[in-house]
Chain A
């Protein structure tokens, strides 16, 4: 993939990231590696009960420990509430606890050891309430209510909420009720997906420092310095101008670090003590208090004509949101918008409820509800194909959204590379031609396919491009690189836009004081939304450069062109040119002022067309542009143990334009393996209110040995007209179709039809034995 080398690192080059040496030599600094003079270390006190009123605290013993600087409880925190969609969460439990493990007090001391010791001495008097542990219990008439004040909470969308229902959403097109009569085949079933842990190898943490004027600087493991600022200020009732948020290197996120974890706690401790305070969660605390992927219960029904034409789909989902809203209303709404799949289905109704329970919060996780509904929907496409005797890939192609077709709800789709993804994946995998091993050996082989679509977009972003005196460039976007490589990609976009070498562009680290607003590194959005701002801001710099150069060279700006290496010259006259340095010196010292280009925008294409669809309780009216993909999995199932393993896989993803092809492959490969973990092994398990496997020892995620080396990334480039150099996002989509592709391969191998994730050896074996008994 290294053949394209425009401008020493522009668009299309697989160049290494600028911080690669730091990361290879151990010099990259993550939150746990930072320290400040006179810094305190903090530890949390966690609730031992799931649902209770707090009657009182006894912190005397903890305060008496030598080296303890402060012990704060809910009584010491302001009464502000934060939340991305519903402002329902205090910085720390106040008056009430809503899940086992919830932070109820926090201790700052001279060392982490002292803080952890003192934290164990804090006593809290609880009046226990009945715990609501499943969504079904939460919906029952006599359930205890988790948020008594729900109706009065501030919400950022027209939330339909009542009792323990945090949000209810529906989207429909056509007329499902009458469409079933047109169908020759209808499949209907229930599906269940487990909660998955993000398992970034870096646990969450934060460090806050206060100055003499009372202004706080906060570093933290995060996916958006601006969301950190908003959450801390909302929960602590601080003016946003009183808090500056910065970022160290981030040890991955996958959604886990998008919304708050311990940031408000360290800020309040810094305010209380006047000293810098650092809090790094240990792995168990991170598992028990941050957030995970939502467990979904899905009822799905799909109907088709005899020739395979899909006619109708109905989807009903029930999400366990845990104790706080967090990103959950977004996950519900987005999953419903995705639940029709990338198909022409004229009649579809998708409805769902998000309910509070007394578990830790669930939130954003790569895919944002889409992998769950894709598992159900893509399983049903296979069932229909099987019943009609049509090849499952062929049935998908026949019904796939075509260029020009709109998305479910009526959103316009500008670029659609789905057909090309299917063509390339099936060709590479020899779909339909590969010899299947049908021997009687105990290992059976099978193949499965699934399609997917996802968005890149959402909300506000910006970029500032500054030309320094010597003609080199500083780019400032406020987008946090969480490891996926956006710093590299944004710099490449700037390099190509200005035709300057990659190395001559410095990227400013995100800073709420100096960077333009960026909603966050989430929703597969940075390349597309921020990249677009980078290109636009660079365009303004280009215009200013040409204006100066026109005066220097005595010609009209439109007769000028940028030339590689930071030069601008007269079109058709090779030797008539000036350098960016000459232009910038003129701007700094003689005329016009220093050259700065800036751009901001907010994603503004409507997702729902009221003439085509009905939407109720939708959390966001404008979601993004669409990416498409196709995954084929070759799976072996051991009929003695039930264990399924992926032998080989092909993943073709339409990314618009691969700004950095090696980084795109990294996203496709990493997304596949995380999806494979979700499909086959990863499952958070609760025993009553207690999470029983909050450690890497007991929570199994794929290792080197669980992962196929025979994996084929296929990059499809269907130019996105609004994207920077045609690009759209790739961060999430690679994970979305994986569970369904593997489930369909297991069906092909051993004849069982998995409807519950993860597809563990036990579940597979039980299904195989049941099938044998039935036969």
Chain B
């Protein structure tokens, strides 16, 4: 396929690809790299189900062009658990019963994961602000907030 050469580091693994200039990062991940964790909910940058980390910052996979990501480090939901052990936020989502249909979960986890790297003891309002770009239609959000607080709390206790 003719296209632009890009090199991405995806979940720690280097991937060299040729991509059409119009291909979004979400399409590259899902269709070229078979990483279907990030979801296409709206393809308009609203729902947040496609959120991935680009050089450590959460971005919309559906609004990012892969050709612009040359040399970048990408982390998707598939990269959050290291060596088979769930990350703190993944475990907390399980323990808080914060997952229902699971379709928003990959984007929610990535947003929360990125947020928790910056925030130590976040308030409810801070969590609501940080995650307000991720829609969930099942949970009513409450148990997700509990999960983020639980993960922050556990991380703080582990650090002290």
Q: Do A and B share a complex?
A: yes
| Tally of contacts, chain A with chain B, CB under 8 A | 168
Partner among B39, B100, B140 whose Cβ is within 8 Å of the Cβ of A707 = B140
Q: Which of B73-129 contact A (CB under 8 A)?
A: 76-78, 80-81, 86, 90, 93-95, 97, 99-106, 109, 124, 127-129
Q: Is the interface of A mostly helix, strand, loop or mixed?
A: loop
Partner among B49, B86, B141 whose Cβ is within 8 Å of the Cβ of A24 = B86
Asked whether, in the complex, the Cβ of A705 is within 8 Å of the Cβ of B132, the reply is yes
Q: Does A249 touch B at the CB level, under 8 Å?
A: yes
Complex-state Cα separation, A483 to B102, whole angstroms: 7
Complex-state Cα separation, A202 to B35, whole angstroms: 17
Nearest-CB residue, chain B, relative to A672:
B140
Q: Least Cβ distance of B92 to chain A in Å?
A: 10
Known: A482-B101, A701-B137. A282 touches B41 (CB 8 A): no
Q: Does A27 touch B at the CB level, under 8 Å?
A: yes
Interface residue range, chain B: 35 or more
Asked whether, in the complex, the Cβ of B135 is within 8 Å of the Cβ of A696, the reply is yes
Complex-state Cα separation, A671 to B35, whole angstroms: 32
Q: Does A157 touch B at the CB level, under 8 Å?
A: no
Complex-state Cα separation, A723 to B85, whole angstroms: 39
Asked whether, in the complex, the Cβ of B97 is within 8 Å of the Cβ of A251, the reply is no
Complex-state Cα separation, A665 to B98, whole angstroms: 11
Chain A residues whose CB sits within 8 angstroms of the CB of B64 once the complex forms? none
Complex-state Cα separation, A30 to B128, whole angstroms: 27
Q: Does B47 touch A at the CB level, under 8 Å?
A: yes
Known: A200-B137, A202-B39, A709-B124. A662 touches B44 (CB 8 A): no
Chain B residues whose CB sits within 8 angstroms of the CB of A23 once the complex forms? 99, 102, 105
Stretch at the interface among A14-22, A301-309, A562-570, A593-601: A14-22
Asked whether, in the complex, the Cβ of B101 is within 8 Å of the Cβ of A252, the reply is yes
Asked whether, in the complex, the Cβ of A483 is within 8 Å of the Cβ of B138, the reply is yes
Nearest-CB residue, chain B, relative to A32:
B40
Asked whether, in the complex, the Cβ of B41 is within 8 Å of the Cβ of A283, the reply is yes
Q: Does A439 touch B at the CB level, under 8 Å?
A: no
Q: Does A631 touch B at the CB level, under 8 Å?
A: no
Interface residue range, chain A: 35 or more
Residue from A671, A674, A705, A711 with most neighbouring chain B CB atoms (10 Å):
A705
Known: A26-B76, A283-B43, A673-B141. A201 touches B104 (CB 8 A): yes
Asked whether, in the complex, the Cβ of A25 is within 8 Å of the Cβ of B90, the reply is yes
- Mask, A281-301, CB within 8 Å of B = 1, is 011000000000000000000
Q: Least Cβ distance of A668 to chain B in Å?
A: 8
Asked whether, in the complex, the Cβ of B105 is within 8 Å of the Cβ of A666, the reply is no
Chain B residues whose CB sits within 8 angstroms of the CB of A30 once the complex forms? 39, 103
Q: Does A485 touch B at the CB level, under 8 Å?
A: yes
Asked whether, in the complex, the Cβ of B36 is within 8 Å of the Cβ of A29, the reply is yes
Chain A residues whose CB sits within 8 angstroms of the CB of B49 once the complex forms? 201
Chain A residues whose CB sits within 8 angstroms of the CB of B97 once the complex forms? 14, 16, 662-663, 665-666
Chain A residues whose CB sits within 8 angstroms of the CB of B38 once the complex forms? 26
Chain A residues whose CB sits within 8 angstroms of the CB of B78 once the complex forms? 25-27
Question: Residues of A at under 8 Å CB distance from B?
Answer: 14, 16-17, 19-30, 32-33, 198-203, 249-252, 254, 280, 282-283, 482-485, 662-663, 665-666, 669-674, 695-697, 701-705, 707, 709, 711
Contact sample, A vs B, 11 pairs, CB 8 Å cutoff = A16-B94, A26-B76, A32-B39, A199-B135, A201-B104, A201-B136, A203-B40, A674-B137, A695-B42, A705-B132, A709-B145
**12 more A-B residue pairs beyond the given contacts A19-B102, A666-B97, with a C-beta to C-beta distance below 8 A:** A21-B94, A23-B99, A24-B86, A24-B93, A26-B36, A32-B36, A283-B43, A666-B138, A669-B142, A674-B137, A695-B44, A707-B140
Q: Would you list the 10 A-B pairs with minimal beta carbon distance, nearest first? A: A26-B37, A483-B101, A251-B103, A23-B102, A669-B140, A673-B140, A26-B77, A696-B46, A662-B97, A33-B36
